[in-house]
Chains A and B, each alone.
Chain A
Amino acid sequence: MNAFVEGVRDILPAELKQRRAIYQTIRNIFEANAYREVITPTLESLELYAGIEGLVDKSEMFKVVDDQGQILVLRPDLTMPIARLAASRFQDSPRPLKFSYLSSAFQSRNSQSLSLKEKTQAGVELIGAASLESDLEMIILLLKTLQKVGVENPLIDIGHADLINEIFADLKIVEAQKVELRRLLAAKNKIGIKNYLNKIEVNSAAKKILLALPALFGSPFTIIDKLKEMPLSKATKTVLKTLSSLFERLQEFDLLQYITFDPMLISRHGYYTGLIFKGYARGYSNLLASGGRYDNLTKNFGLEEPAVGFALEIENLLDYLNKTENFTIKKEARLLLSYQNKGDFYFAYQLSEQLRQAGFTAEIYNQADQAYLKFQQVSYQLKITSKIDLLGYQGQSASFKRSSPVKSIKQILTKLKEWE
């Protein structure tokens, strides 16, 4: 039997410990910012996802058939279920709604994320808010979260979904050519654009702009200025103005050093309608977070309202933190108790309870050998015989006379403190 499934993995204690520390940090920030956590079902209806263009390709979703023959999917993303939640259970609740989540998403093919089919995402959704301030809030919250979990040098790349559409409209690009051009622009493939433009009919001014776009990204105000110089319509310039004021606000918060602007930042998620952003760390070549505004998404559930959110890629974040060794997790102090006389089990138990209360990880086990102690990374041993022996992993030792549990524990704790 081959019990291994490609693209999924077990999370073992050491990693889980790191994860829990990160989860805790993230949850604390989200909750402190009034984003309350929800858990949506792992199984969702295929129709929920299949109807939405550009979200996740149907072929990349895991499908499950239930006993009624209905096709379900393992949720390929977390934003859709929350949009559904907001439009159904919270239909009549006052806005804005603020939710956060920390769950797995499943995709059968997953580039850019260590090829995992099950990946953990933590994110927030702000539903029913359209203001510039809400966009700003998202970006700041993402920056703060990244910094808090240990990303020293975060970078947020910002784009706008309307920008490419407005530019296409300005350049009179016909519908049939948009898909290919969008793909080429997203890949910054200047050669491809050049070749493609030779095949289609576009005026020379438009050609010039399309060929300039792949190299236009970086420092926000520089790029805005360069775009402003181009012969683009008022509608396009309005989008630029919105972005400009966002950048000005970020400057006011003294955060502009973490921001870059890419007018051709095009997300795989086709549902974004305005602001799009991605989170990176300098020196790390994988995506740490992505987000944006999705004002049309809730329309699919009969309730049209603005919304914005982001998701952190937890596996990539862990990979980054491990590579940069930006982890500060306190090593647990693990203590193993053993006793010689059967009648001492209760005494050992009483001691172990006291030790747990004092913050130690304590277990009672009489057959521990060297291999076990090493594998479990036991730091201290407590041997109960006619006396009590305390042994440390660095060769320390101490001996106490038997007395009441309360008295013994006092002696033991004093000694342990001394050793630490």
Chain B
Amino acid sequence: MERLCIAMAKGRLAKKAVKLFRQAGYDLPEDMFDSRKLIFTIAAEKLEIIFVKPADVPIYVEYGTADLGIVGKDTLLEENRDLYEVLDLEYGACKFALAGLPERKDSLLERKVATKYPDFTRRYFRALGEPVEIIKLNGSIELAPLTGLADTILDIVETGRTLKENGLVVYENIRDLSARLVVNKVSMKTRQQEISQLITALDQVVNGAD
């Protein structure tokens, strides 16, 4: 049988994902993070693991290049792809939050929001019926209110330390986020047995046997 391909988000989530797989009894190579290698074939487990940019995980899975993916809910909300989202892996916990300077300057009539998540931000404010101007940034979102580029930011907040150090406060927590296991909709049907086994194994690590 062919190998199952799993796309993992590069970076700090990847280490936790690999750890999780090991806890679930999968024998993954020790040296996965020692080199810049992006693709690992684990013949004994019939697995192939690829490391891709977080935002690309849903794309690889939707197109079926990867059968499964591990990625943060923030990315899933932003990418909004047609996938099965089957398991909350419960690590990488953080929140989507609106934040800005302690003296809130924005008003309903005129609000500029800087974010790395323009699509989610658009949908969020549209659902509220609030008109906003969205400014897409690629990093250091905290700078936007400090420099006057935007009044508000919509970003992921883990401990709130970065915000605090930059003199910003959370206005509103939007929703909880964590790492998720996603599955290609067709693979789920055509390779049900192998994928179900994997889901069950990971589920047992995360939620305990039941």
Contact (Cβ within 8 A) A217 B192: yes
B115 on the interface (CB 8 Å rule)?
no
Residue of A nearest to B86 (CB): A188
- The segment out of B34-42, B45-53, B180-188 that lies at the interface is B180-188
Taking CB atoms, residues of chain A closer than 8 Å to B86 are: 188-190, 214
Contact (Cβ within 8 A) A187 B83: yes
The proximity string for B residues 181-210 relative to A, scoring 1 for CB distances below 8 Å and 0 otherwise, is: 001111111111000100000000000000
B43 to chain A, nearest CB (A): 18
Interface residue range, chain B? 20 to 34
B61 to chain A, nearest CB (A): 9
Q: Kindly state the separation between the CA atoms of A280 and B192 in the bound complex, as whole angstroms.
A: 13
Taking CB atoms, residues of chain A closer than 8 Å to B87 are: 190-191
Residue of A nearest to B64 (CB): A285
Contact check: which of B2, B85, B188 meets A283 at CB < 8 Å?
B2
Main secondary structure of the interface of B (DSSP, over half): mixed
B84 on the interface (CB 8 Å rule)?
yes
Contact (Cβ within 8 A) B190 A285: yes
Contact (Cβ within 8 A) B186 A284: yes
Contact (Cβ within 8 A) A155 B2: no
Contact (Cβ within 8 A) B85 A187: yes
Q: Kindly state the separation between the CA atoms of A268 and B187 in the bound complex, as whole angstroms.
A: 18
Known: A218-B192, A285-B184, A285-B187. A191 touches B64 (CB 8 A): no
Contact (Cβ within 8 A) B2 A287: no
Taking CB atoms, residues of chain A closer than 8 Å to B184 are: 285
The proximity string for B residues 35-76 relative to A, scoring 1 for CB distances below 8 Å and 0 otherwise, is: 000000000000000000000000000111101000000000
Instruction: Specify which of B82, B85, B185 lies most central, judged by the most chain A CB atoms within 10 Å of its CB.
Output: B185
Contact (Cβ within 8 A) A191 B82: no
The proximity string for A residues 196-217 relative to B, scoring 1 for CB distances below 8 Å and 0 otherwise, is: 0000000000000000001101
Q: Kindly state the separation between the CA atoms of A159 and B83 in the bound complex, as whole angstroms.
A: 18
Contact (Cβ within 8 A) B192 A188: no
Contact (Cβ within 8 A) A283 B190: yes
Contact check: which of B82, B188, B191 meets A112 at CB < 8 Å?
B82
Contact (Cβ within 8 A) A111 B62: yes
Taking CB atoms, residues of chain A closer than 8 Å to B192 are: 217-218, 260
Contact (Cβ within 8 A) A191 B85: yes
Taking CB atoms, residues of chain B closer than 8 Å to A278 are: 189
Taking CB atoms, residues of chain A closer than 8 Å to B126 are: none
Known: A112-B62, A191-B180, A217-B192. A285 touches B84 (CB 8 A): no
Q: Kindly state the separation between the CA atoms of A260 and B83 in the bound complex, as whole angstroms.
A: 19
Interface set, chain A 140-192, CB cutoff 8 A to B: 155, 157, 187-192
Contact (Cβ within 8 A) A287 B88: no
Contact (Cβ within 8 A) A262 B189: yes
The proximity string for A residues 284-326 relative to B, scoring 1 for CB distances below 8 Å and 0 otherwise, is: 1111000000000000000000000000000000000000000
Taking CB atoms, residues of chain A closer than 8 Å to B186 are: 280, 284-287
B117 to chain A, nearest CB (A): 18
B19 on the interface (CB 8 Å rule)?
no
Known: A111-B81, A187-B84. A157 touches B2 (CB 8 A): no
Q: Kindly state the separation between the CA atoms of A191 and B62 in the bound complex, as whole angstroms.
A: 19
Taking CB atoms, residues of chain B closer than 8 Å to A111 are: 62, 81-82
The proximity string for B residues 84-97 relative to A, scoring 1 for CB distances below 8 Å and 0 otherwise, is: 11111000000000
Q: Kindly state the separation between the CA atoms of A282 and B195 in the bound complex, as whole angstroms.
A: 13
B185 to chain A, nearest CB (A): 8
A281 on the interface (CB 8 Å rule)?
yes
Residue of B nearest to A262 (CB): B189
Residue of A nearest to B84 (CB): A188
Q: Kindly state the separation between the CA atoms of A111 and B62 in the bound complex, as whole angstroms.
A: 8
Q: Kindly state the separation between the CA atoms of A85 and B2 in the bound complex, as whole angstroms.
A: 45
Contact (Cβ within 8 A) B189 A280: yes
Q: Kindly state the separation between the CA atoms of A186 and B5 in the bound complex, as whole angstroms.
A: 23
Contact (Cβ within 8 A) B84 A191: no
Q: Kindly state the separation between the CA atoms of A190 and B86 in the bound complex, as whole angstroms.
A: 6
The proximity string for B residues 1-39 relative to A, scoring 1 for CB distances below 8 Å and 0 otherwise, is: 010000000000000000000000000000000000000
The 10 closest A-B pairs by CB, nearest first: A285-B64, A191-B88, A188-B84, A189-B85, A285-B186, A282-B190, A285-B184, A285-B187, A157-B189, A280-B186
Interface residues of A (CB under 8 A from B): 111-112, 155, 157, 187-192, 214-215, 217-218, 260, 262, 278, 280-287
Interface residues of B (CB under 8 A from A): 2, 62-65, 67, 81-88, 180, 183-192, 196
Known A278-B189, A285-B65; further 9 A-B contacts with Cβ < 8 A: A188-B183, A190-B87, A218-B192, A281-B190, A283-B190, A284-B186, A285-B190, A286-B63, A286-B186
A-B contact pairs, 18 of them (CB 8 A): A111-B81, A155-B189, A157-B189, A187-B83, A187-B84, A190-B86, A191-B180, A215-B196, A217-B188, A217-B189, A218-B192, A280-B190, A281-B190, A283-B190, A284-B186, A285-B65, A285-B187, A286-B186
